[in-house]
Amino acid sequence: MGAQFERWEYLNPGKTRAEILDISHTTMLYVEGVTVSFDGFRALDDLSIYIDSGELRCVIGPNGAGKTTMMDVITGKTRPDTGTVFFGQKIDLLRMSESEIAEAGIGRKFQKPTVFEHQSVFDNLELAMAGDKRVLSTLVAKLSSEQRDRIDAVLDLVGLKELAFREAGALSHGQKQWLEIGMLLMQNPLLLLVDEPVAGMTHQEMDRTAELLTSLAGKHAVVVVEHDMDFVRSIAKRVTVLHQGRVLAEGTMDEIQKDPKVVEVYLGE
Ligand code: ADP
Ligand code: MG
């Protein structure tokens, strides 16, 4: 469990994170009737979307559909004009700051990797585990074997074990993306939001990223926003199509590809 979550545990002694969140229901994230206006323009227009625990959801839609704004709302960067956003049954995300939302177990991966270029891959993961700088000084002194094991497990998962002691700055673009996903995993999020993960990747890197995101589902809920349709097809289970700030269609890739509304606004472009 990430160092940052300890505060939550402290406030809820003797309870597991799942109990604190009350995710006994299969739905983990409830976005309901959310509207976001920028100067009268509705980037999100009465949007409702529900994510189950452990699910892998792809969100697609033309440019300007509101995909990034949706992530901004979930992570507390943008406040909606109307609507509700709940994490589990009890946690009202609209009343929390960005850092509180991250602490509650929602990790977000932005498009551009933000790794510490002059630190090794291993040290980047160690820093991510520390989460905040107060813990850092004690970690630098000595990692417990449990902490070391966690870093090793994440290195394995993101396929960077061989490169653990390479400077992050020397990694390829794809490897940096995986490292950043690894850094998010060090916080052990329940929900991971990933915005356009394969932009700029080689085909080989895309295949590896598909495997990685697929392997994360189950343990973490993963919401992937992506333009590359071949990539979406390779990982898709349930797909949500956004258009003009609303859900246009939702279903399997097959179902949405046959949907005339979707063909018209997106796939037929
Ligand atoms: P997507 O990620 O699906 O391409 P966005 O969520 O980035 O779409 O944007 C949705 C719409 O909202 C776009 O028309 C965009 O120009 C507008 N928008 C997003 N953020 C802002 C902002 N901070 N100020 C004004 N307009 C914005
Ligand atoms: Mg976007």
pLDDT digits (tens, 9 = 90+) for 242-258: 999 999 999 999 999 99
Give nearest CA residue, ligand 1 atom 24: 38
Say if residue 200's pLDDT is above 70.
Answer: yes
Is the separation of the CB atoms in 248 and 241 below 8 Å? Answer: yes
Task: Please give the share of the chain, as a percent, with pLDDT higher than 90.
Answer: 71
41-52 vs 27-38, strand pairing mode? antiparallel
Higher model confidence: residue 13 or residue 1? 13
pLDDT, mean of residues 8-22: 63
The CA-atom distances, in angstroms, between 263 and each of 80, 229, 235 are 29, 13, 20
Task: State the pLDDT at residue 138.
Answer: 54
| Nearest bound ligand to the CA of residue 67 | 1
Over residues 92-122, the pLDDT tens digits come to 999 999 999 998 999 998 777 789 999 999 9
- Which atom of ligand 1 has the smallest separation from the CA of 44? 10
- Which atom of ligand 1 has the smallest separation from the CA of 66? 6
Residue 168: band (very low, low, confident or very high) from pLDDT cuts 50, 70, 90:
very high
Over residues 209-230, the pLDDT tens digits come to 999 999 999 889 999 999 888 8
- Which atom of ligand 1 has the smallest separation from the CA of 36? 12
What per-residue string of b and e applies to 162-180 under the rule 16 or more CB within 10 Å gives b?
ebeeebbeebeebbbbbbb
Over residues 37-64, the pLDDT tens digits come to 999 999 999 999 999 999 999 999 999 9
Burial of 160 per CB tally in 10 Å (0-12, 13-18, 19+): buried
Say if residue 1's pLDDT is above 50.
Answer: no
Give nearest CA residue, ligand 1 atom 20: 69
Give nearest CA residue, ligand 1 atom 6: 66
